[in-house]
Structure 1
Amino acid sequence: MRVIMVCAALLAAGCTAAPDRVALPVTKDELLRDLPQRMRDAGTVRFTSRRSDDTDHRPSTTGALRWDGDDLGVSTDSAGGTTVLLDGVLYDRLPPTTDVTLPPGKTWVRSERGATDRFAAGRDALHDALRALWTPTRGLDAAAGQVTLTERSDQPLDGEHTTRYTLDHQGRVHRLWLDDRALPVRVEVDRAAQDGTPVTDTTDYRDWGGDAAVTAPPADQTCGSAEVRY
């Protein structure tokens, strides 16, 4: 009777799990099987990325992801310019230091997949790379057979409860922090820089299901890739 009374008191006080809290994955297979669908269901997210060797600790890239079924739109903004991938079309707003010339009044370049002009051919591989680079799973779901889960533990992050998963993919370490909705709030990837120096890329995800927009630039400010002059 005493146990029943205590439980009733806890329920009356509202001490129950949050209604949107879900069962978190336990195994690697559960994690990589379920996470892509959870992200698609959430629909949108904003992200901020930085590298461990950035001495000023400022974000190196900010952006947003937006799912429309299986199609993923990506928007990124960095010192290297602004890029939007939407409906299979790549849009670039180049930094002023880029040594190319655009038609008067145009600030964006549109590149269609498979186009053979010089500018588009140099960007073709980016169509797939953008998704793999900024999606929280980092392509691990497509390579699940080569991935090993080495650690799963509760790890507070910025004062919030999260669960951290450490995965090894062919010697590269990935760490994913999931919130109580089983959605990523941080991803870290250990890798080697071009000079061989070890670095860690950290990407923080926020505002899942919010109003993050991935939209094409204004048509009157956009030229085709074949119009770019070198």
Structure 2
Amino acid sequence: MRATGFAAVCTALLLLGGCSSDQEPAAPPAAADAAQLASAAGAGTQKARSSKIALETTAEDGRKVVVTSSGLYEGPNSKFSMVAEVAGEKRDLIFADGVLYYHLSDAQVQELKTGKEWVKITAGGKDAISAANGELMTQVVETMDPTRTIDRISKSGKVVKSDQADVNGTVTTHYALDLGGAPAEMWLDGEQRPVQVKLGKATVKYDSWASDVVIIAPPPEAIADSR
């Protein structure tokens, strides 16, 4: 009888929006300052460990950049497997163990004459591929890595204001921030995980937190010397 009574009560409450196991967690109270925000967002990110990411930005030279990625957050050793579209050209990249790997096009493989499909690129690299995309893609990795954004908030951030906001149906706490003189925004869900971040010209969106993500660097035998 007790179970029947509970079911009846739940049925009534469901009509009012209660007793729903699928109900999204309400946004938590806003953090009082940058240190509290960084602590909460850091804990939420590390607990989930992984997410899907979508980034859009414009490079300094005017090129439009659109990136879709999976991210794995393991303390300071974040990893990303991404597809980047730069000025309409798509390329696969992997960031793992602090190294950025760029997947070559068929034409680039033929040009290098190594038969290998990957090269390492760097922000200051002198090779043609690094010169064209190394600095840009290094900035993309830094921008979409939530652990780096949270670290910036911790070290130089200031909460300008906060409020409640809906982001594509997700109830969030929205923070307007000052990061050492640079404006930024962050939206956290009910489990203190980033839903959206705006840094300069870049907008980064996160979803599918705690999804199954495995990211492995290309094997050494598949990596060519791009110089």
Superposed pair shares fold, TM > 0.5: yes
Kindly provide the amino acid, as one letter, of the partner of residue 181 in structure 1. Answer: E
Larger deviation: 117-126 or 83-92? 117-126
Corresponding residue pairs, total: 203
Deviation beyond 6 Å, 4+ runs, structure 1: 19-22, 96-100, 120-128
Q: What is the aligned counterpart of 1:49 among 48, 55, 59?
A: 55
Residue number in structure 2 paired with 1:223 = 223
Distance 1:161 1:22 in 2: 6
Contact 1:38–1:183 (8 Å) recurs in 2:
yes
Unaligned runs of 5+ in 2: 1-8
TM-score (norm 2): 0.69
Contact 1:32–1:137 (8 Å) recurs in 2:
no
Kindly provide the amino acid, as one letter, of the partner of residue 205 in structure 2. Answer: D
Contact 2:27–2:171 (8 Å) recurs in 1:
no
Contact 2:72–2:213 (8 Å) recurs in 1:
yes
CA displacement, residues 23-63 of structure 1 (integer Å, 9 cap, x when unaligned): 4552221111231232122111111112389xxxx971111
Kindly provide the amino acid, as one letter, of the partner of residue 206 in structure 2. Answer: Y
Instruction: Give the drift of 1:171.
Output: 2.9
Unaligned runs of 5+ in 1: 1-8, 191-199
Residue number in structure 2 paired with 1:3 = none
Please tell me whether residue 169 in structure 1 is matched to residue 174 in structure 2: no
Residue 71 of structure 1 aligns to a residue in which SS? Answer: coil
Distance 1:127 1:78 in 2: 9
Instruction: Give the drift of 1:129.
Output: 4.6
Distance 1:51 1:128 in 2: 13
Aligned pairs (5 A) from 1:130-169: 131-136=141-146, 138-142=148-152, 144-169=154-179
Please tell me whether residue 203 in structure 1 is matched to residue 208 in structure 2: no
Residue 68 of structure 1 aligns to a residue in which SS? Answer: coil
Distance 1:150 1:118 in 2: 41
Distance 1:62 1:108 in 2: 19
**Greater share of residues in helix:** 2
Contact 2:56–2:203 (8 Å) recurs in 1:
yes
Residue number in structure 1 paired with 2:81 = 75
Please tell me whether residue 61 in structure 1 is matched to residue 67 in structure 2: yes
**Amino-acid identity (%):** 21
CA displacement, residues 144-189 of structure 1 (integer Å, 9 cap, x when unaligned): 3532211111111112211111101233211111111111111112
